[in-house]
Structure 1
Amino acid sequence: MNHVVLIGRLTKDPELRYIPESQNAVATFTVAVDRPFSKDKQADFIRVTVFGKPAENCERFLAKGKLVGVQGRIQTGSYKNKDGATVYTTDVIAERVEFLEWGEKGSGGSGSGFDREDPKGSLGIPEGFQALEDDDDIPF
């Protein structure tokens, strides 16, 4: 089983690019996750990669300092740098990203308002599911 759940704050704005062959969107960003019980207020800085429409939404709505929840899997890799040395990488490939603080980029606030186009904040809901209006919609 390879499953990761993180909550933290972005260290800078997400970077969005498109894969040339397929034109699929790819966003990358780093999340600072506080270490529990750390006397020195330490954090881990974890690189996250998101694909497709969620990647475009991350680039649109997330900004440095915003609180985000990420659910996904760990992926390791390596590459040769310009000096020929092998560099090892560890990334979280996000399957779901929850915007825990909302607002347009540059709107100034990190409040919990909702996007006009997505008033229920359902951008993080997987395909085939729908948001519940309230607890009365739960069938049990």
Structure 2
Amino acid sequence: MSGTLNKVMLIGHLGEDVKMHYFDGGNCIGRFPLATNETYINKSTNEKITSTEWHNLVVRNKAAEICEKYLSKGDKIYVEGRIKSRQWQTEDGVTKYTTEIQVTEFTFLNVKKEIESSRNAAPSYDANQTPMPENDMPF
């Protein structure tokens, strides 16, 4: 195979509300942690074990605004995106690293806000249908 693929698909629960950051020119990003769980039985103790993995999600512009409006901590969401690692320097010169999921599509699986009270289908978003600028984050 000569090509490569960077694609992530996750179903999980929000660990916090969406945090927005606005830029000059009207662009914005939203960030939130997503928890995914794996449950298994420990064979030696017959105990049920749940392991949680945390993912840092980033949504941009219109998608970020939709997520901020409808999502809150604990809501379940399906996301597709790509893995992106980045680094930056703190004010005291320490180099920090993070790995994020840049979300390109999502579907709300259950939400607590306005959408739940209406009888409409859960919103979904596809960046391929509504383009979002691929600006590099300034931090």
- TM-score, length of structure 1 as denominator length: 0.74
Q: Say whether 1:24 aligns with 2:27.
A: yes
Task: For residue 60 of structure 1, report the CA deviation from its aligned partner.
Answer: 0.6
Where in structure 2 are the equivalents of 1:86-125 lying within 5 Å? 86-104=95-113, 113=116, 115=118, 119-125=120-126
Confirm or deny: 8 A CA contact 2:59 2:102 kept in the other structure: yes
Q: In structure 1, the residue corresponding to 2:40 is in which secondary structure? A: coil
Structure 1: runs of 5 or more not aligned: 106-111, 129-140
Paired residues of 1:115 and 1:121 also in contact (CA < 8 A): no
1:102: how far off? 2.7
Distance 1:24 1:84, change over 3 A: same
Q: Rate the CA distance shift 1:36–1:5 in 2: closer, same or farther, 3 A.
A: farther
1:63 deviation in Å?
0.3
| Greater share of residues in strand | 2
Secondary structure at the aligned position of 2:86 is classed as: strand
Match in the other structure for 2:19: 15
Q: Counterpart in 2 of 1:61?
A: 70
| CA RMSD in angstroms, aligned pairs only | 2.3
**Contact map agreement 1:33 1:44 (CA 8 A) in 2:** yes
How much does 1:16 deviate? Answer: 1.3
What SS class does the counterpart of residue 113 from structure 1 fall into? helix
Identity of aligned residues (%): 28
Aligned-partner Cα distance in 2 for 1:12–1:42: 18
Number of residue-to-residue matches in the alignment:
119
**2:53 maps to which residue?**
44
Aligned to 2:93: 84
Amino acid of the residue matched to residue 53 of structure 1? K
1:65/1:57 Cα in 2 relative to 1: closer, same or farther (>3 Å)?
same
Q: Structure 2 regions of 5+ residues with no counterpart? A: 43-48, 131-139
1:71 maps to: 80
